[in-house]
């Protein structure tokens, strides 16, 4: 099967209300254009420079989500073209986005990344730290927190991911129930090629899929 068919097959199985983000790191603009022909409307990039180069070719035919670890010195570039940053996990990064978006007079939708596996080497705030960061971000007029994202630990068996998705959904629902002024939690981004079905069962409404669309990365 080709890229278009892969996208169509995944889209046909997703429940309505679930957004498919094509995770496009290391994929060429040509591959991404094929995915767009299959029905992809949102792509997720991990590196600012790579994203910018592909944006130069593909432009606004799709929405651009940033799903990598944002470096402070790359934020200025990123906020010029991305539609959402899914991976905010510190007040320093939030403040830098605020500064750069204020200069452009735009508001950036963001998700807070949660380190649901509590893995020391992984990005994201600990589950109990998410509320504090969201309250902090809510003070910034040029950021809008719209949800929560998690990677979770990698497993061969997707069932092993379930507890981390459950924990992240609990964080999402608890903070949503607080009705923090200026915060409208709508998006729960979790699940990748091998785990998206479990993630959707646990409430994900954004899934980020690379391998199952494009094949294995080199
Ligand atoms: C690469 C990546 C994905 C997709 O991973 P696959 O296993 O290839 O589907 C999802 N989310 C993030 C943050 C990624 O970096």
Question: Could you give the domains of the chain?
Answer: 3-214 (3.20.20.10)
Q: Give residue 12 CA to ligand 1 midpoint distance, Å.
A: 20
Read out DSSP for 81-106? T-SEEEEE-SHHHHHHHHHHHHHHT-
Q: Which residue's CA lies nearest to atom 2 of ligand 1?
A: 23
Give SS3 for 44.
strand
What tens digit of pLDDT does each residue of 45-60 get? 999 999 999 999 999 9
Q: What is the mean pLDDT of the chain?
A: 97
Q: Output the pLDDT for position 217.
A: 83
User: Between vectors from CA 70 to CA 69 and to CA 76, what angle results, nearest 5°?
Assistant: 165
Q: If you average pLDDT over residues 70-76, what whole number do you get?
A: 95
Ligand 1 atom, smallest distance to 68 CA: 13
Q: Which residues line ligand 1 (CB under 6 A)?
A: 23, 25, 46, 67, 151, 192-193, 208-212
Residue where the block lists tokens 């669309």: 213
Q: Which residue's CA lies nearest to atom 11 of ligand 1?
A: 208
User: Does pTM top 0.85 for this prediction?
Assistant: yes
Ligand 1 atom, smallest distance to 194 CA: 7
Give SS3 for 34.
helix
Phi then psi for residue 23, to 5 deg, are: -80, 110
Ligand 1 atom, smallest distance to 217 CA: 8
Is residue 142 predicted with pLDDT exceeding 90?
A: yes
Looking at the chain, the whole-number percentage of residues with pLDDT higher than 70 is: 100
């Amino acid at each position: 099967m080709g890229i278009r068919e892969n996208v169509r097959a995944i889209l046909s199985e997703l429940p309505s209300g679930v957004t498919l983000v094509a995770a496009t790191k290391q994929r060429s603009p040509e591959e991404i254009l094929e995915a767009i022909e299959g029905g992809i409307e949102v792509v997720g990039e991990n590196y600012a420079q790579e994203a910018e180069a592909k944006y130069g070719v593909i432009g606004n035919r799709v929405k651009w989500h940033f799903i990598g670890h944002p470096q402070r010195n790359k934020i200025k570039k990123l906020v010029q073209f991305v539609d959402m940053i899914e991976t905010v996990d510190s007040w320093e990064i939030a403040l830098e986005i605020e500064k750069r978006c204020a200069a452009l007079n735009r508001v950036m939708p963001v998700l807070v990344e949660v380190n649901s596996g509590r893995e020391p080497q992984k990005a994201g705030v600990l589950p109990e730290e998410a509320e504090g960061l969201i309250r902090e971000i809510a003070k910034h007029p040029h950021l809008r927190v719209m949800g929560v994202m998690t990677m979770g630990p990698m497993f061969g068996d997707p069932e092993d991911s379930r507890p981390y998705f459950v924990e992240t959904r609990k964080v999402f629902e608890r903070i949503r129930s607080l009705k923090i002024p200026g915060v409208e939690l709508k998006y729960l981004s979790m699940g990748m090629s091998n785990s998206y079905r479990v993630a959707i069962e646990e409430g994900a409404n954004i899934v980020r899929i690379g391998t199952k669309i494009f094949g294995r990365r080199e």
